[in-house]
A and B are shown apart, each in its own frame.
Chain A
Amino acid sequence: MSAFGDAFVYLNDPFNWTRTGGILDLLVQHLRISALAVLLAAVLAVPTGVLLGRSGRGVGAVVVISNVSRAVPTLALLTVLAVTPLGFSETGTVLALAAFAVPPMLTNTYVGFREVDRDVREAARAMGMSRGQMLTRVEFPLALPLVATGVRTAAVQVVATAALAALVGGGGLGRIINLGFGQQDTGVILAGAVLVAALALLTELLLVLLSTAVTPGPRRWPLRPVRAPGAGEPEPTSSGVPL
Chain B
Amino acid sequence: MASLGALSAANAPAAPVLAADEAPNPWFDPSYVTDNWDTIVGYLGQHVRLTVGAVLLGALIALPLALLARRTRFLAGPVLGLSSVVYTIPSLAMFAFLAPFTGPLSATTVLIGLTLYTLVILVRNFLAGLQAVPADVREAARGMGYGSMRLFLRVDLPLALPALMAGLRIATVSTVALVTVGVITGNGGLGQLIIGGLNSNFYRAEIVTGSVGCLLLALVADVLMAGLERLLTPWTRAAR
Write the residues of chain A forming the contact surface with B, with a CB cutoff of 8 angstroms. 1, 3, 67, 70-77, 79-80, 82-83, 156, 159-161, 163-164, 166-169, 174, 177-178, 180-181, 184, 186, 189-190, 192-194, 196-197, 200-201, 204, 225, 229, 231-235, 239-240
Contacts and interface: CB of A to CB of B under 8 A. Distances in A.
B204 A83 contact: yes
Contacts, number: 162
Contact of A83 (B100, B130, B207): B207
Contact of B76 (A77, A193, A229): A229
A29 to B, nearest CB: 16
Contact of A233 (B70, B128, B170): B128
B202 interface: yes
B177 A71 contact: yes
B46 interface: no
Interface residues of B, number: 56
A104 to B, nearest CB: 13
B100 A1 contact: yes
Contacts of A194: 93
A229 B97 contact: no
Interface stretch (B52-60, B137-145, B178-186): B178-186
Given A73-B176, A76-B215, A231-B76, 14 more contacts: A71-B214, A73-B191, A75-B180, A75-B181, A76-B180, A79-B198, A177-B184, A186-B100, A186-B104, A201-B88, A232-B124, A232-B130, A233-B128, A240-B170
Contacts of B198: 79, 82-83, 168-169
A167 B183 CA distance: 9
A178 B185 CA distance: 10
From A76, A77, A80, residue with most partner B Cβ within 10 Å: A76
26 contacts: A67-B173, A70-B173, A71-B218, A73-B180, A76-B211, A79-B211, A83-B198, A160-B88, A163-B92, A166-B92, A177-B92, A177-B93, A181-B185, A186-B99, A189-B96, A190-B99, A196-B93, A197-B90, A200-B93, A201-B89, A231-B127, A232-B69, A232-B128, A232-B131, A234-B128, A240-B125
B12 to A, nearest CB: 21
A183 to B, nearest CB: 10
A27 B127 CA distance: 37
Nearest to B20: A83
B3 to A, nearest CB: 33
B237 interface: no
A76 B214 contact: yes
B76 A232 contact: yes
B73 A234 contact: no
Contacts of B69: 231-232
Contact of A200 (B88, B128, B219): B88
B85 interface: yes
A102 B125 CA distance: 24
B222 interface: yes
Contacts of A168: 195, 198
B177 to A, nearest CB: 4
Contact of B73 (A160, A161, A231, A240): A231
B77 A71 contact: no
Contact of A75 (B85, B128, B194, B215): B194
